[in-house]
Amino acid sequence: MSVAELIEQAVAGLGYEFVDLEISPRGQLLRVFIDSPSGIVVDDCVTVSNHLTRLFTVENVDYERLEVSSPGLDRPLRKPEDFVRFAGQEAQLRLRVPVANQRNFTGRLAGVADGRLTIDIKGVAHEFELSQIERARLVPDFERKQELKR
């Protein structure tokens, strides 16, 4: 089992969503990103960090430093479920291969069906194969975040 699979299983068991793992070139720093529908607070990161520290000791995972945090407002979108969960929000996409001489797109996520993402760009629906998306991130919506805090 890979380190990412080990982390994903452990994090899911604690009730969180495993978003991403960054490993430094020498493998000494492990940076784990977690999320939940209600958001992530410092106590969540501490809980996951303590659990992973014990798990890595048992599983003999070699590392020097572990960091656990939320993915932030510009959360990466990796799985089809991410695109469904954040439908209606604005996202930036980077495609592996250009479409009409363009690789970067920004628009509202409109849904996923049959392995294809629909994104509304200035009122026009565009479809992209999920397998052709190199990178996708949410565009931070500071006004919406302020409304949620009130």
Domains of the chain in sequence order: 3-69 (3.30.300.70), 80-140 (2.30.30.180)
149 pLDDT higher than 60: no
- Rounded to two decimals, the pTM is 0.80
The predicted structure's pLDDT at residue 143:
66
Strand partners, 18: 34
Q: Is residue 147 over pLDDT 60?
A: no
Kindly report which listed range (21-25, 26-30, 125-129) carries the lowest average pLDDT score. Answer: 26-30
Can you state the percent helix, strand and coil of the chain, rounding each to 5? 30, 40, 30
- State the average pLDDT over residues 140-150: 61
- pLDDT tens track for 86-120: 999 999 999 999 998 999 999 999 999 999 999 99
Position 144 scores a pLDDT of: 55
pLDDT tens digits for range 41-67: 999 999 999 999 999 999 999 899 999
C-alpha to C-alpha distance for 104 and 11, rounded to whole angstroms? 32
pLDDT band at 27 (very low <50, low <70, confident <90, very high): confident
C-alpha pair distances (Å), 93 with each of 29, 97, 123, 148 = 28, 12, 17, 25
